[in-house]
Structure 1
Amino acid sequence: MLHKIVILGNSGSGKSTLAKKLVEKEKLAHLDLDTLAWLPTSPPKRQLIDVSRHDIEQFMSENDAWVIEGCYSDLLDIALPQATELIFLNLPLDECIANAQRRPWEPHKYSSKQAQDENLSMLIEWIKQYYEREDTFSYQSHKHLFDSFKGPKKMIEQNQERS
């Protein structure tokens, strides 16, 4: 069976780490939604949903087996009809914060490690608001996607469960 896996969760929950492990183990194509959800502007501004939709649909059509990960319910909803599995990383906030603080430089997101670190305090505040927000990045939105997905799914609530 070809794997088509969607991973969602709060910032710092380990989505990219888990996706990279699955890519290596299962030889899947990988799409990190952070790479297409934002325009290259300062301050960051969301890309038009139709442009992101086109990019996601193109990625799925070009790859037989894949993992798509992110915190964007509006974008993940585009991939879910083709997904064979959904993984919800619902780690405690303190673990997400600790993961964000240990995060290595992500050159596909930031021009330098310094630029990434300058964003850390904002990211930590963002992580802390996960259960309070009501936007596409929120727990409420992620839980709705998880509950409505009819295929195989799992919720991971502790770091050691990821292998």
Structure 2
Amino acid sequence: MIEEPPRYILITGAAGTGTTTLARALAAEWQLAHLEADDYLWLPSDPPYQHLADKDLRDEHLLVQMRCAARAVVAGSIMGWGQALEDIFDLVVFLALPVELRLERLERREIERFGRAKPEFLEWAAQYEDDSAPGRSLARHQEWLSRRSCPVLRLEGDISVAPHTGCHPRPEPASGLSAVITLGPAPISSSTAIRNTGGTCSTLASLNPSTSATSLWP
């Protein structure tokens, strides 16, 4: 077990990658406040997501809640929200999934929440890998990640946060799992990487054999 988790963690990625699920699991495991970027991006409404909040205030509101909580994990995208917020994190985790799986998850989630999935929402989510589309995209996300001053951990593939999220490094990686993690100029063993990231690599999730983990440090 690690003695002390990072103070502020950001879980980010395209819609449907599981940022909320992972943030919720980490919050429970480490007793952190769990905050959603969407709660500050949008004004409260019924149904939700109808009116955007003032972009000059959203970062301030989120920062206030983070500082009040002392330790927090934030789920969602905060690109362009302001340097004070974007540079406050001690660790950023970027989740990546194939678009087909993301859209399947999103459609199921929207039906569970609202009874149907709006085609325009799914169309917006599907264009994430298209660098020519306006708004959030994979290329813009990667460029934003490259400018972070804190460690960045990239998890690719389907991730299960159950049955455990405890920090217990496996002696041997599961078959097919990429266990080489890049820290600086040279790859090192997964056990060393886990120590250098405060155990976060194994704590973040129970990685299945289709998941690869890469830690990218500035």
TM-score grouping bracket, smaller chain normalisation? 0.7 to 0.9
CA distance in 2, matches of 1:63, 1:19: 15
Partner amino acid, structure 2, of 1:51: L
Cα deviation for residue 121 of structure 1 reads 2.3
Ranges of 4+ aligned residues in structure 1 off by more than 6 Å? none
1:139 is the counterpart of 2:138: yes
CA distance in 2, matches of 1:85, 1:139: 19
Tell which structure's C-alpha radius of gyration is larger: 2
Contact 2:14 2:96 in 1 (8 A): yes
Q: Percent identity at matched positions?
A: 24
| Length-normalised TM-score, structure 1 | 0.81
SS at 1:130 equivalent: helix
Contact 1:77 1:145 in 2 (8 A): no
RMSD: 2.5
Change in 2 beyond 3 A, CA 1:21/1:121: same
| Length-normalised TM-score, structure 2 | 0.62
Question: Which sections of structure 1, spanning at least 5 residues, go unmatched?
Answer: 107-112
Contact 2:14 2:128 in 1 (8 A): yes
- State the match for 1:11 in structure 2: 15
Question: Which sections of structure 2, spanning at least 5 residues, go unmatched?
Answer: 161-204, 207-218
- State the match for 1:60 in structure 2: 66
Change in 2 beyond 3 A, CA 1:130/1:76: farther
Q: Which has the higher contact order (CA 8 A, sep 6+)?
A: 1
Partner amino acid, structure 1, of 2:91: E
Contact 1:100 1:120 in 2 (8 A): no
Contact 2:96 2:154 in 1 (8 A): yes
Partner amino acid, structure 1, of 2:98: P
How many residue pairs were aligned?
Answer: 154
The structure 2 residue matched to 1:45, chosen from 32, 51, 54, is 51
Aligned pairs for 1:14-163 (under 5 A) are: 14-40=18-44, 44-75=50-81, 78-103=84-109, 113=113, 116-132=114-130, 133-135=133-135, 137-160=136-159, 162-163=205-206
- State the match for 1:110 in structure 2: none
